[in-house]
């Protein structure tokens, strides 16, 4: 049984790490191991607790980007009504870019989430992938990149590629936000636009996964996790709000480098703590 204190700590951890490019799943695997909470992870409904905190994060993203989602929805319905995507209608194109970008990660998640979870959801793998996530972020900042592309100017193929990069987050330790920001940078987006695109792409994936898993909390066994999940969700949502505000300002002028360094140090440090 998860305690209220554990629910708060894990909720805050999820709300921050889901949106920072440092892997929420990796931290959710490593953190209990560091504090001796391994029994939590053995309960099948621990995943549903995590999903509840993810849903809170998705709701925060929807609220904070509500004006974007409203215009994107209008553009989507305009394209359906006109039966075409006007070259002058940036929001209509963005709507379809997000749909096309979400499909690959959704399919890969449905096909491989359980096998990968069974193989790799252990602290040893998570610390390794977290360090590799840091390496990926540092390499991305070193690669030559074209610049000046806006989200709406990306091609359909580029959108598929950036969307598919989210599948890296199926490996605990790789970050969904980090991988999509890297993908965005490589197709010419600025750090600021790559972050926005990452948040927009992540929202439907997080929300859909949450809605699929959440009903299990209302089973007889799952009711014991209801209160901790609600507490964790509030904590995650609060942390996510501040994470969005911070990152939006941060990526106006700064890069992924500090996050890459953190992931490498945290991964190696956690490995030492676990094994010494």
Residue 191 · residue 49 · CB < 8 Å: no
Question: What share of the chain in percent tops pLDDT 70?
Answer: 98
Stretch among 43-47, 151-155, 170-174, 206-210 having the lowest mean pLDDT: 43-47
Contact status, residue 91 vs residue 72, Cβ threshold 8 Å:
yes
Is the pTM value of this prediction over 0.85? Answer: yes
Distance of alpha carbon 216 from alpha carbon 257, whole angstroms: 39
Residue 200 has pLDDT above 80, yes or no: yes
| Residue 121 C-beta-side C-alpha neighbours within 13 Å | 18
The pLDDT tens digits of the residues spanning 6-39 come to 999 999 999 999 999 999 889 988 988 888 887 7
Q: Give the per-residue pLDDT at 233.
A: 94
pLDDT attached to residue 214: 73
Task: Give the pLDDT mean for 150-179.
Answer: 91
Q: Helices 24-34 and 123-142: crossing angle, nearest 10°?
A: 140
State pLDDT tens for residues 88-121: 899 999 999 999 988 888 888 778 877 877 777 7
Going by the DSSP 8-state scheme, the letter that residue 149 receives in this structure is -
Indicate the SS3 state at residue 171. coil
State how far the Cα of 13 lies from the Cα of 7, in Å rounded to an integer.
Answer: 10
CA distance 52 to 11: 9
In this prediction, residue 254 carries a pLDDT of 94
Task: Give domain limits for the chain.
Answer: 4-275
């Amino acid at each position: 049984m998860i305690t209220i204190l554990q629910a708060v700590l894990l909720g805050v951890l999820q709300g921050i790490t889901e949106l920072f490019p440092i892997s929420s799943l990796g931290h959710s695997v490593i953190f209990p191991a560091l504090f001796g909470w391994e029994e939590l992870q053995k309960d099948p409904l621990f995943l549903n607790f995590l999903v509840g905190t993810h849903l809170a994060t998705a709701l925060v993203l929807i609220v904070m980007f509500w004006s974007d989602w409203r215009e994107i929805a209008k553009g989507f319905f305009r394209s359906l009504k006109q039966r075409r995507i006007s070259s002058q209608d940036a929001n209509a194109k963005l709507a379809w870019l997000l749909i096309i970008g979400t499909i690959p990660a959704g399919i890969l998640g449905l096909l491989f989430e359980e096998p990968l979870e069974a193989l790799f959801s252990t602290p040893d793998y998570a610390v390794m992938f977290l360090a590799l996530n840091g390496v990926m972020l540092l390499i991305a900042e070193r690669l030559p990149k074209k610049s000046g592309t806006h989200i709406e100017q990306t091609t359909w193929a580029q959108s598929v590629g950036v969307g598919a990069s989210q599948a890296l987050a199926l490996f605990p330790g790789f970050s969904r936000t980090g991988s999509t920001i890297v993908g965005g940078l490589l197709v010419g987006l600025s750090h600021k636009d790559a972050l926005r695109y990452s948040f927009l792409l992540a929202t439907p994936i997080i929300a859909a996964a949450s809605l699929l898993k959440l009903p299990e909390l209302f089973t007889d066994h799952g009711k014991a996790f209801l209160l901790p999940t609600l507490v964790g969700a509030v904590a995650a949502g609060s942390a996510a709000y501040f994470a969005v505000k911070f990152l939006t300002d941060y990526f106006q002028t700064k890069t992924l480098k500090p996050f890459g360094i953190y992931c490498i140090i945290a991964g190696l440090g956690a490995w030492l703590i676990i094994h010494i």
